[in-house]
C-alpha cells in the first residue's frame, strides 16, 4: 500500500530535500506540498493524505495550530511534527494535541521514512520516557482541572508566548519588555499555576484553551 504524504514547510529547500530523501521509498508518495499553515489545512481537506509532516514554525498558522485543526476535523490523518527545534514546550504541545510523533530535521532519511510508515499504520512514535514526562505534566491538578488562576493581563500574554515555545529573549522582543521583566513574569506564572516548569505551563495553557 502506498502512503500518501502531505508536506507542510515554509522552506522550499526543505521540501526539495524531503523529495530526495523519500525518492528511494517507493511506498511513500508526496501527494501535496504547503508553504504555510492555512494552505496545509486546505490541502488536507482536499487531498485527505494518510500522513502530514508539519513544520512547527510556519507563516499564517504554525504547525501546532494546524495539528489542532486537523485532529479536530480530520482525525484519520496521522500528523508528524517536523522541526529544527528540540524544544520541550513544542514537544509537550505536540503530544497533548495528538501528534503521532515529533521528528527533528537532522533525522536521517531512513528514520524519516520509517516514522512515516509507522504513523500511517497507526503507531505512536513517542518514546516511553517522553510519554512519561508529558503524562506527568498532563496529570497535574492544574493541567487537568478547571481552575480559575488570577493571572494579570501581562502574565497571560507571557504565558501564551511560552506555550508557543518562545524563549524569554523572544518573548521580551515580541512584547517589547525587558528580559528581566519576562523572567519575573515567568516565575509568577509558574507559581500561580502550581507547576514545576515551562513544559507543564504549556500543557496547562493548551488544556485551558490559551493557545
Q: Which domains does the chain have, with CATH numbers?
A: 3-126 (3.40.50.2300), 142-207 (1.10.10.10)
**What phi and psi values does residue 152 have, to the nearest 5 degrees?**
-75, 170
Residue 182: helix, strand or coil by DSSP? Answer: helix
For the four alpha carbons of 61, 66, 68 and 72, in that order, the dihedral sign comes to positive
* pLDDT above 70 for 136: no
Lowest mean per-residue pLDDT among 19-33, 61-75, 194-208: 194-208
| pLDDT confidence bin for 200, thresholds 50/70/90 | confident
Mean pLDDT of the chain: 87
> What pLDDT sits at residue 166?
82
| pLDDT confidence bin for 184, thresholds 50/70/90 | very high
Burial 20-38 (b: 16+ CB within 10 A, else e): ebbeebeebebbbbbbbbe
Q: Measured between alpha carbons, how far is 200 from 196 in angstroms, rounded to an integer?
A: 7
114: cell is 520509517
| pLDDT confidence bin for 140, thresholds 50/70/90 | low
Query: Between residues 187 and 25, which one has the greater pLDDT?
Result: 187
> What pLDDT sits at residue 145?
45
Query: Between residues 7 and 132, which one has the greater pLDDT?
Result: 7
| pLDDT confidence bin for 105, thresholds 50/70/90 | very high
* pLDDT above 60 for 180: yes
- Once rounded to an integer, what is the mean pLDDT over residues 34-54? 96
Q: What angle do CA 191, 194, 195 make, to 5 degrees?
A: 100
- Once rounded to an integer, what is the mean pLDDT over residues 95-101? 89
* pLDDT above 90 for 132: no
- Count CA atoms within 13 Å of residue 74 on its CB side: 20
Amino acid at each position: 500500500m502506498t502512503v500518501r504524504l502531505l508536506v507542510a514547510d515554509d522552506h522550499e529547500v526543505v521540501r526539495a530535500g524531503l523529495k530526495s530523501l523519500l525518492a528511494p521509498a517507493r511506498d511513500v508518495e508526496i501527494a501535496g506540498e504547503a508553504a504555510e499553515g492555512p494552505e496545509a489545512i486546505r490541502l488536507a481537506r482536499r487531498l485527505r493524505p494518510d500522513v502530514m509532516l508539519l513544520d512547527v514554525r510556519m507563516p499564517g498558522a504554525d504547525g501546532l495550530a494546524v495539528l489542532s485543526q486537523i485532529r479536530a476535523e480530520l482525525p484519520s490523518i496521522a500528523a508528524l511534527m517536523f522541526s529544527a527545534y528540540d524544544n520541550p514546550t513544542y514537544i509537550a504541545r505536540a503530544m497533548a494535541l495528538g501528534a503521532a510523533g515529533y521528528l527533528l530535521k537532522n533525522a536521517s532519511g531512513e528514520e524519516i521514512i520509517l516514522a512515516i510508515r509507522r504513523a500511517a499504520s497507526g503507531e505512536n512514535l513517542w518514546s516511553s520516557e517522553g510519554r512519561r514526562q508529558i503524562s506527568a505534566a498532563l496529570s497535574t491538578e492544574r493541567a487537568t482541572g478547571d481552575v480559575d488562576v488570577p493571572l494579570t493581563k501581562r502574565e497571560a500574554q507571557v504565558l501564551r508566548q511560552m506555550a508557543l515555545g518562545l524563549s524569554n529573549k523572544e518573548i521580551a522582543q515580541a512584547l517589547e519588555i525587558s528580559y528581566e521583566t519576562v523572567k519575573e513574569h515567568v516565575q509568577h506564572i509558574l507559581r500561580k499555576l502550581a507547576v514545576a516548569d515551562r513544559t507543564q505551563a504549556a500543557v496547562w495553557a493548551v488544556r485551558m484553551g490559551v493557545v
